[in-house]
Amino acid sequence: MMERPNTIDYDAELRRHNDVLRRAVALRREDHVLDIGCGAGQTTREAARIVAAGSVLGIDPSLRLIHRARELTEAEGLNNITFVHADAQVHPFRPEQFDVAISRFGTMFFRDAVAAFANIARALHPEARLVMMVWQAHERNEWSMAIDNALAGDVGARPHVHQGGEPFSLADPGAVVRTLQEAGFVDVTFSDVHEPVYYGPDVATALEWVRGFTGTNEVLRSLDAGSTQRSLDRLRETLTAHAGADGVWFDSRAWIVAARRH
C-alpha cells in the first residue's frame, strides 16, 4: 500500500513570512486588533498572546477555517479572541473599534477593494494603523512562475494560472496607494519581503499541496487526460528541482503595506 504523503498547511508554507509580519506589526499589550482573512487563526492567536490587555477579532469568509480557528483557540485557552464568519468588505463592524488592522495575504480577494478598505477604515480609530502582507507581481514570484510553466499546455497555449489574477491584485504600489487613499488611509508605505515559501518535506507532499491550489485545479480540469499527465509530470520535475535536505522551497517576493487611517 502506498503511504500517504506528509501533510502541509498554509501556516507551514508561510512560516518565514509570518515572522516578518509579526515584527512589522509591533503590537502593544493594550491594542484591539482586527485580523482580516484570518484563516485558521494563526496570526489571530499570535496577536492575542501579545495584546493580553486588549482583544483580537479574526474575520474570514471560509466557515471551515473559522471552525478550525475556534477549535485551536479553545485548545490554547485564549479568551481575548472573537472569530466572525463574514466578508470584511461588507461586514457591519462597530465604528472606530480597533487600534490596528492586520492581514497575512488576506486582502487581495475583495470584489471591490476601495469599498472593502473603506469599510475596514470605518472600523478603525482615527490614526489607527493598517499593516498587511500582499504578494508582489506574478513575475517576481518564483513559485507562481514555476507552477505556471509546469502547467503550460502542449500546444503552446500557456494557462498563466495567476497572471493578473487575485493573488496579485495588490502588487502594484501606485494602484494600492490610490485605492487606500480613496478608502480613507494616508501615509502608505511599502517594505520589500524576500523570503521563500515552503511546500513540504518531500516532493510527494509538495505535489499534493500544489494540486490543491485553486488555480492548479482549474487548469488541470481544463485539460484532456494526456495533457493532464504531462502537466503533472512537469510539475513533479519542477518540485524535485527545488527539493533539498530541508524540504521543497521556492523563492517569493511580497510587500508589507502599512498605512494610517485619516
Instruction: Quick: pLDDT tens for 123-137.
Output: 999 999 999 999 999
Q: Is the pLDDT of residue 200 over 80?
A: yes
Q: How confident is the model at residue 6 (pLDDT cuts 50, 70, 90)?
A: low
Supply the pLDDT for residue 82. 98
Strands 185-193 and 197-200: unpaired
CA dist 118 and 126 (Å) reads 13
CA dist 187 and 129 (Å) reads 10
Map grid coordinates 494526456 to a residue: 226
Task: Tell me the per-residue pLDDT of 144-192, one tens digit each, with 9 for 90 and over.
Answer: 999 999 998 654 444 444 444 589 999 999 999 999 999 999 999 999 9
Q: Is the pLDDT of residue 2 over 80?
A: no
Query: In terms of Cα–Cα distance, which of 57, 14, 62 is closest to 36?
Result: 57
pTM, 2 dp:
0.93
Supply the pLDDT for residue 153. 61
Q: Domain spanning 10-137+163-199+249-261 has what CATH number?
A: 3.40.50.150
Q: How confident is the model at residue 206 (pLDDT cuts 50, 70, 90)?
A: very high
The rounded radius of gyration (Å) of the Cα atoms in the chain is 19
